[in-house]
Each structure stands twice: as structure tokens, then as C-alpha cells.
Structure 1
Amino acid sequence: MNIENLKQGMILKNYKELCSVLEIKPSDGNGKKSQMKELERYIKYHKEGNKFIIDEVYNEVKEKMDKRTNGNNNDLSKNLRYMILHLCHKNKLRSKVEVGYSKTFLYSYCGMINENYRDTKGNKKAFAQYLNLEQLAIEECFEYTDDRMGQALRRALSTLTNTNKALGYRYGYNYVLNSETYHMTADIDLETIIRDVENKTMKQMKMNRYDKIYNSGRWDDFKFKVINTLKNEYPLYFKDLKYYYNVIVLNYKDSSIKRTLDGFEEAFGLDFKLAKTNVNKYFSKSLDGTITRRHEKNKVLTSDNLDEKNIYRSSKNYVKEQKKAKNTIVKDKAKKVDFKALTSFDLDDENVICEQLNINNIPF
């Protein structure tokens, strides 16, 4: 759910257009109700007929009012914020005022996923074979895991920005040149160029969303076209471009980070090891709740929810299989997945992003 696309005063003609702007799939029934409930944590809106009118985009994300998980969410957010602060404090911005991190890097550094995540996401078919599960089960696991990670990270960053006043953030790009060994964060001008080229390329490919490009198997083609256009039309900046990727750009002053980090350590007794362990524990526990609720919702199937996913969610093996898959990519003590006995595979473009897991390559 990309809230960044919504602006105060925006008028969307119907629910379908709202979903397109938010970059989410339209749903119905309980699924739609859940989407709208989640949306109300980020914005205030009203309806005129089928139209959605955006009255306000909140500066601070509202917490979920769910007694089953609210305490767990607060604990997760607190420890997650500490880990982000720790990363910023460790990597002081001496010559720049901002730096971009891929979401995968942040998820890993903060402790929400283990090292199996990036390898298995790059080859879900082999992962399903490894766990002796259907590929549908693996797709299901990554769907809610990615969604919940995104929510948790946005909530933590929003609180650090609007409540703790420790940093600012935006969505942008990092890029790598053939002549360099490190990752550079695009400034606003270069970010605008990349985004414009992406939009034009998506229009040429008759695609209006990132996920549709990826799910249609055209991601490599899309990136190839964008990179070539950047090289040819903007040689001053991108003649030597190797690749680029989406990041969350953090901007901060070292003094603000240190002040807030010290406050967390004094108030909660946190350190790097404890906070990372806590993030992993609380996030894994919250996913257990998600798995259970999905199963409970679909125990009784009706004519309105007889699709493949809901039938699987209603099955007696759903909870056991999902916890097996989830634990493999989330739990910090999970056994390392070894695909060698099954098949050889190439990491897709999404995993190229994980080169950034070597933080020594990031320019500071």
C-alpha cells in the first residue's frame, strides 16, 4: 500500500482507481474492509457516491486498535526503531546528508528476516520443493510476510520522523556505475530523471504497476530498457550505469541520531543484540497471528470466497505449512537452506539488490 501516492485534496473516481494509486490489488468482502481499515490509519477521507476524496494525509501513522496484537506491535515498533537508529549511528554521514538502503537490507539488518529470505524469494519453486510444499503455500507466505514487513517499517520510520524527530525519509534510488565499486544514492534531480524514464517505459510496455511487470515475467526486460534509456539519453550521469534499484532514503544529523539512541538505551535498556533478537521474536509472533486469523476466517467457505487461495487457507494443513515456511525465512536460528541437492538457479533482479548487504560498499 503506497500511501506516498496520495495527496490532500485528491479525488479518485472509484475504488478501482484508489487501488491503482495505492498499488494494491482490488478486493471484496472482508478483504476490502481490511484494506479500508488499514487505509484509515494513514489518511482521512470521505465519499461522494463512488468517489473517494482525500481530506488529510496524517503526519503520523495511527496504531492498529487490535487488542490481540496491539501490545506486540508496540514492542516490535520500539525495537525496530532502535535498530534503525543503530544503523544510522554506525554509518555516520560525514560528507553527505542522506543515504539509501534497500528494503531487503533494512529488513535483514533489523532482524525481521534471516539469510534464507533473499535466496528463497529468488526461487520459490525450488523452495517449495525443498520444504515439500506446493508453490501456492510459498507464494502465500511471502505475500503476508512482505506486507507485514512493509507496514512495520513504515510505522517505525514515521514515528522516528514525526514523533522522535530523529530523521527524515523518502523513497528513491541507488545506482552503481561500472567504474565504481560502491552504491550511490540519487539526489532529487537524478531521482526525477529515473522515475520519468521508468514511467515512460511502463507506458510503452502498457503496464501501470511495478508488481504487474514483475508478476508477468517482464521485469528483466523492463530494467534493461530503463537502463539503456538512461545511458543513451542522460550520458552525463548514467553513461557508465551498471544497474539501479529502489531504496528508502534516510536523511539525518548524527547529533539527532545519538540523542534519540541514547534515550532509547536509557529508557528501555536496549542494545544491538537484544533489540535485534526482540524484533525477530515479535515479528515472528505477529506472523503467527496472521496465519491463524487467515485460517479462522476461511474455515467456512461460501460461494463468494471459493478461489484457490481461500480453499488452501481453509485446509487443515494450512497453519502447520505456513509456520514451517515462515520460520524458515524469518526465525534467526533457522537452518540454512541448501538448494544444491535440488537444482541450480540464478538469483533474479530483486536479489541483486541484496549486494547492498555489504554495507562497506555504501558511500558515506
Structure 2
Amino acid sequence: MKIQALTSGKTFKNYKALCGELGLEVKRSGDSRKAQFKELERYCTYSKDGHSIIIEEVFEQPLQKIKRKGNNIVYKDKIEKLLLHYFAVNDFPVSKFHLMQGIRLFNHNYKRFFGSKRKLAYLEDVEDVEVFHFFQCSFNCLKKSLERCLDDLVKRGLLIEEKSLIKVWRFRESMPSIATQNEVKIIKKIECSLLVEFNVTTKSDLMFTDKWPEFIDMLNKKLKEELYLRSYYVAKSYKHTCEKRRAKSVLSQEDMEFNLSGLNFTVCDQLYKNFYRYKQRTKNQMSLSNQLLLISKLIASKENKNWFERSSWDKGEVFG
């Protein structure tokens, strides 16, 4: 990589232009591109605006390359146990967001403020940038953990992945229903037109920016005008491969609560560890006490509100 081409404030028109100036091979697959951007993060911080890539800060010394030890997830066992239980007692399609909340990867406030990040920043007297950073890092981390656990359960033959579908919330109806073929077609058309209008390729490019609320407002307005729908979401269901395994996966109420509470505590601790390492690595001015506040507000379940007091962290590193 030609790191001399990296300067603070420099904008590359698109991914291809970035590769050209840095002497990188243009990759076709998404995973290969992700690996290249992961390597780029050792040398600088960057942001995206549509297809453009903006270099923010170039490090004096490249960060140490992290060696991965397989695909280990700290709380993998608990997630898998709870997922197997969930799909043993539920056979209806569910969104990943709902599933993440269902196994207590975060609490109800996370969903409540996901589309109102500036409001949360105002209420808690925290900088907007810190709230946006928290949601982006935590959501990517937790969603990736969930997806890897689901994929692993499918590969091991414990779950069968059902076909995903779109469910819609209709006005005057109290429960979501499956979208018709015509509704799916129009929903995709509306979504594509808005992505073009916002100059992005996927909704993920907007999700953690201040343009997200505007995007959702426009999307819901068009859904109401063209289909008289309140909203929609992508849902998927999984089934156990055999009845005997399904029956064995059902947890007692006591075991379920134990695993839910334990998983939530570990998630709180691991997220704080991630933020702590990020601050040490990048010398970012981000406040650890603010990140601790957001974890307690948005992640910790009712029984784990005092999780930090029970953790092994040196309290002086946060409040000292």
C-alpha cells in the first residue's frame, strides 16, 4: 500500500480511485473489499459520503495488525443456547433487530433511540458524535455476532434457515402481515429511488448518519401515499432439524433467565472493552464515562443496571 498517498482531508472519488492511488488491486467480492478497508484502518481513519471516501486522520505509526484466533465470540455459547431455545418455542418469522432484543443483546431503549440519536444526545448531555459512534460500533458488533452464531448453527445442522420475507404494518391493523408480491415490488422501487436520491448504495450507508431520520421519514411518507402502509421489515425464521433436538433445546424459566442475564452482562463488559481498546489505540478524545453511560442506558437489562460495579474494571480509569 502506498501510504504516502494518504493525507488528512483527502477525498477519493470512489473505491476504484482509492485502489488506483494506493496501488491496491480492485476486488470484486465484498469480503475482499472489507479486508482491504480493514487494512486501511491500520493507517488512518476515514468516512464515506456516498461513493466518496474521505481520509480524516493519518496515524504517525500504523496500528499493530491483530491476529485473529478463528471466529471466536466471547458470548457465543450463550447466544447459541438462547437461539436454539427461541426457535424451539417460536416458529414465526422475525427480524434480526427483534431477535437481538429478544435475547437481550440490548434493552428496549436501544430501539427507542435508534432513530432519535440527536434526541438522546440532548437528553443525556453527550456530544452527537459520541452517540453516533456508540450506535455504529455496538450495532455492527452485535449484529455480526448474531449472524455468525446463526450461520454456525445452520452449518452444524442444528437449524434450517427458512426463506426471508417482507412483513408490513398496515394502518388500522394491530399485527404485521406478509406483504403481497405487488407490495414487495413497490416497496423495493421506493427504497431504490430513495437510495439514488441520497446518493448511497445501501441503507447501511445512512443508518449511522444524521440523514437517517430524514430517509425514514421520506420512506414512510411514500409507503403511506402509494400503499397505505405504516412501515415494513425483513423477517426470517429458522427451524430445528429434528423434533428430538428441538425438545432438548427448550430451557426452563430459571435456565433461560440465567442465560439471558449472563449474556447481557457479558455484552456490556465486552462492549466497554471494545471502546476502551479503541480509545487506547487511536488516542481518540471520546469520553469513556459517556460510553459507560450509554451502555447502562441502552444495553444493560433491568437486572444488570449495576453491571459496572460488579465488573473487574478499574473504576479510576473511567472516573479518575
TM bucket (normalised to shorter chain) is 0.5 to 0.7
Helix, strand or coil for the counterpart of 2:237?
strand
Q: Select 1:133's aligned residue among 107, 126, 132.
A: 126
**Deviation, structure 1 residue 248:** 3.5
Distance 2:300 2:154 in 1: 29
Unpaired runs of 5+ residues, structure 2, are 1-14, 20-25, 45-65, 306-320
Distance 1:123 1:138 in 2: 10
- Identify which of structures 1 and 2 has the higher relative contact order when contacts are C-alpha pairs closer than 8 Å and 6+ apart: 1
TM-score by length of 2: 0.65
State the match for 2:293 in structure 1.
324
TM-score by length of 1: 0.58
Q: Select 1:279's aligned residue among 263, 267, 275.
A: 263
Map Cα deviations across residues 143-194 of structure 1 (whole Å, 9 max, x no partner).
1111111101101111121213312055542112235321123478864553
Map Cα deviations across residues 238-295 of structure 1 (whole Å, 9 max, x no partner).
xxx4233223411425x737615615869xxx93112211221221222122112101
Residue pair 1:85, 1:261 contacting (<8 A) in 2 also = no
Distance 1:19 1:124 in 2: 34
Matched, 1:245 2:265: no
- Percentage of identical aligned residues: 16
State the match for 1:152 in structure 2.
145
Distance 1:140 1:285 in 2: 17
Distance 2:291 2:184 in 1: 38
Matched, 1:219 2:216: yes
Residue pair 1:77, 1:155 contacting (<8 A) in 2 also = no
State the match for 2:98 in structure 1.
105
Q: Select 1:298's aligned residue among 279, 282, 287.
A: 282
Aligned length: 258
State the match for 1:90 in structure 2.
89
1:51-200 to 2 correspondences below 5 Å: 66=68, 73-74=73-74, 76-92=75-91, 99=93, 101-169=94-162, 171-178=164-171, 180-186=173-179, 191=184, 194-200=187-193
Which letter does structure 1 place at the counterpart of 2:123? Y
Cα pair distance change 1:248/1:177, threshold 3 Å: closer
Which letter does structure 1 place at the counterpart of 2:298? I
Cα pair distance change 1:105/1:203, threshold 3 Å: same
Map Cα deviations across residues 309-356 of structure 1 (whole Å, 9 max, x no partner).
x4x34xxxx323212212221111366xxxxxxxxxxxxxxxxxxxxx
Residue pair 1:125, 1:135 contacting (<8 A) in 2 also = yes
Matched, 1:256 2:242: yes
Cα pair distance change 1:149/1:174, threshold 3 Å: same
Distance 1:263 1:221 in 2: 43
Unpaired runs of 5+ residues, structure 1, are 1-11, 35-63, 94-98, 232-240, 300-309, 336-364
Map Cα deviations across residues 55-84 of structure 1 (whole Å, 9 max, x no partner).
xxxxxxxxx9646x976x25x222112222
Helix, strand or coil for the counterpart of 2:106?
coil
Cα pair distance change 1:189/1:122, threshold 3 Å: closer
Which letter does structure 2 place at the counterpart of 1:277? S
State the match for 2:58 in structure 1.
none
Distance 1:30 1:245 in 2: 36
Residue pair 1:164, 1:260 contacting (<8 A) in 2 also = no
Helix, strand or coil for the counterpart of 2:257?
helix
Helix, strand or coil for the counterpart of 2:232?
strand
Cα pair distance change 1:166/1:29, threshold 3 Å: closer
Cα pair distance change 1:193/1:163, threshold 3 Å: farther
Helix, strand or coil for the counterpart of 2:126?
coil
Residue pair 1:174, 1:183 contacting (<8 A) in 2 also = yes
Which letter does structure 2 place at the counterpart of 1:81? E
**Deviation, structure 1 residue 20:** 11
Distance 1:19 1:130 in 2: 44
State the match for 1:31 in structure 2.
41
Residue pair 1:201, 1:225 contacting (<8 A) in 2 also = no
